[in-house]
Amino acid sequence: MLRRFVISAAVIPLCLPGAALAQTANDPANEQACEAGTGQQAQLRALENALTRNYVFPANVPQVMAAVRDAADMGRYDNVEKGAFAERLAEDLVEATGDPHFAVGIMQPEQEDVSEVPELNDPSINYGFQAVQLLPGNIGYLRFDNFSEPDAAYQTATSALKLLENADGLIIDLRYNNGGHNELGQFIASHLFSTEEDHLFVSYYYNKNGSRIERGQWALSAVPGRRHPDMPVHILTSNVTFSAAEWMTHSLQELGRVTVIGGQTAGGGHPVERFALCDDLYVQVPIGELRGPNGGEFEGVGVAPDIAVPSYRALRVSHLRMLEGLGNSAPSIPRDWAIAEARAAIEGVDVSDSWLQSAAGEYSGRELVFADSGLNYRWADRFELRLTPLSERLFLVEGTDSYRIELLGEGTSVTGIARVFADGTRQVYERSRE
């Protein structure tokens, strides 16, 4: 059985395909290290064993351990509680290696398998899936903030993709994704390719108890929903996009399957596993290296976006570019209708309160009401929806994209309003005269 990688930041590891890390707790060398003494020295002997047998760069272990033991000799770990010892040891491992994947933690009392990362598989946060929606112009938007185990997140991921399968384009938001199990990325990415040829996503090796194991990860031959090999896809990134999220981005970018928009990613490309130390502590160790389908990697560098923009603007820029690229190829709502909204979101619209107040009034049974520095559209004395300006005279209507409200008139006058529909038809309401 393949071992399952997790790729991620110190708080959420990037796991390699599946072995239980609890097995390391039974490693005779670790048991002997813990039985031979107590306290710091036993922990450091167990740490050295875990690194020597599993660290991605075993030749560097003497240098790393020398740095850690120097810190111990200087009293850095003396007279501190277990949690503080774990935190300081993790900081020193990261400083000695330059790899933020290192972590040291305390196993929970009920945690039998030190490899478990419960925060990755938490149903209370929907396994990391934060948003699934259709943006104006029939553009799918999917945001998830970690890669849960596929067995845990399979149904949620499948449902999310099912909701978006009729979209004309897809935006995958990984700006705040810290990584996790790479197989979830494999599952999602497999929906973006046909089965006419094989597609390698990533090749990798990892160390396990002194042995080197090499593997590859390919597009799946079967997925539960529709495939979309021709759908345009954007991936959004930021400088906190990390590990497994970077690998999905990097692999699809190398394959030419996506456009990456946003910021340079964090540069954490090593898979990790957790290994038991003594006294209920564990260490998270980078154990392998991964390469993209064309042989590239990004460890310590990050994935460069195709379109570099501040991460907070990436979604708006992506939405506009997606709409402009698709054109008006028989969508249910003309894309220029959606493009106007997307441009306004990027450029902003400055409409003065005095102008809005001048538009307030009655219009042949309809009414514009000035409230909270904005306009509401009201009719039948009971229905009322907020208006959002797209320009000085054109407004979105809360809760619907089927029509918009236009202020009619010239210069500074408002002589009427029109309900403007996506197909170009209009319903005009003259302003009531007092």
For residue 246, what pLDDT band results from cuts at 50, 70 and 90?
Answer: very high
The answer to whether position 266 is within a domain reads yes
Q: Which helix (H) or strand (E) holds 187?
A: helix 182-190
pTM of the model: 0.81
Mean pLDDT of the chain: 88
Please give the pLDDT value at position 19: 29
Q: Is the pLDDT score of 15 beyond 60?
A: no
Segment among 32-36, 101-105, 279-283 with least mean pLDDT: 32-36
Quick one: 34 and 124 in the same domain?
A: no
Please give the pLDDT value at position 11: 40
Dihedral (CA of 216, 221, 225, 228) sign:
positive
Q: How many other C-beta atoms are found inside a 10 Å radius of the C-beta of residue 389?
A: 20
Segment among 5-19, 63-77, 135-149, 209-223 with least mean pLDDT: 5-19
Q: What angle do CA 26, 274, 17 make, to 5 degrees?
A: 100
The secondary structure of residue 108, as a DSSP letter, is -
Quick one: 84 and 203 in the same domain?
A: no
Quick one: 146 and 264 in the same domain?
A: yes
The answer to whether position 90 is within a domain reads yes
Between residues 166 and 125, the one the model is more confident about? 166
> Which of 326, 343, 368 lies at the terminal end of a domain, its last residue?
326
Between residues 36 and 278, the one the model is more confident about? 278
Cα→Cα distances 204→90, 182, 294, 332, Å: 25, 12, 12, 44
pLDDT tens for 328-356 read 765 666 888 899 999 999 998 999 999 99
For residue 14, what pLDDT band results from cuts at 50, 70 and 90?
Answer: very low
Please give the pLDDT value at position 329: 65
Phi and psi for 260 in degrees, rounded to 5?
-95, 125
**Structural domains counted in the chain:** 3
Quick one: 101 and 125 in the same domain?
A: no
Expressed as residue numbers, the domain containing 208 is 118-272+294-326
Quick one: 79 and 206 in the same domain?
A: no
Quick one: 300 and 194 in the same domain?
A: yes
Please give the pLDDT value at position 16: 42
Instruction: Round to whole Å and give the CA distance between 289 and 271.
Output: 7
Q: Is the pLDDT score of 1 beyond 50?
A: no
For residue 270, what pLDDT band results from cuts at 50, 70 and 90?
Answer: confident
Instruction: Round to whole Å and give the CA distance between 245 and 272.
Output: 14
Please give the pLDDT value at position 212: 87
